[in-house]
Amino acid sequence: MPMTLPEGAPATLGEAFARINACTAPSILDLKVMVLVEAAGQTLYDVSAEGTDHPEVKRLLIENGVEEMKHAQRVSAAIKAISGEDFAPPSRADNPYLQADFPRAKLTPEGLRGTAQAEFGGDALYGKWADSTDNAEAAALFRLNGKEETEHGDRLMQAAALLEG
């Protein structure tokens, strides 16, 4: 059964992305939204991987997806470190942001490069979040996620080049 969105959370995945991308000093609610967004990221990458027959591109996308769930787990740990509250990442079936149908675009080099830019922006976002918290454990978790966001972008750039063959 899908989990209930936290009170005050955006209603859709698109709105959640917009909220997160505008946030420089996250509240606990913002962090909960990020847990849901990062957990949804695994599914989004898995669905993207289904859109190609290229084995290396598929591997790169799936690897990014696995790390998205790790990011969700780290943000969950940051919530615990900051507030003492447990907020576990949901599975695909339980994520409220994955209950509605979401757009599936054709996998193209241009699309992968665009997604790479968003991932590179995630590094800066997590850096701002790390700088905004007084909790050293949470800051370290945010910085690790940020470093991996850059690695996601690098993988996407590699995947785009592979598709161009």
Q: Residue 45: which CATH number? A: 1.20.1260.10
Contact 79, 87 (CB under 8 A): yes
> Number of structural domains, the chain?
1
Q: What is the pLDDT of residue 103?
A: 66
- The 10s digit of each residue's pLDDT in 66-83 is 999 999 999 999 999 999
Task: Tell me if 112 is assigned to some domain.
Answer: yes
List, in sequence order, the alpha helices (H) in 95-135.
Answer: 109-132
pTM for this entry: 0.95
Q: What is the pLDDT of residue 162?
A: 98
User: How many other CB atoms are there within 10 angstroms of residue 8's CB atom?
Assistant: 10
Ranges of residues in the chain whose predicted pLDDT is under 70: 102-103
Q: What is the pLDDT of residue 106?
A: 81
- For residue 41, the Cα-to-chain-centroid distance in whole angstroms is 5
Task: Tell me if 120 is assigned to some domain.
Answer: yes
Task: Tell me if 6 is assigned to some domain.
Answer: no
Task: Tell me if 144 is assigned to some domain.
Answer: yes
Report the distance separating Cα 3 and Cα 57, nearest Å. 32
What residues contact 4, with CB distance under 8 A and at least 6 apart? 96
- Domain ranges, residue 129: 13-164
What length is written for the chain? 165
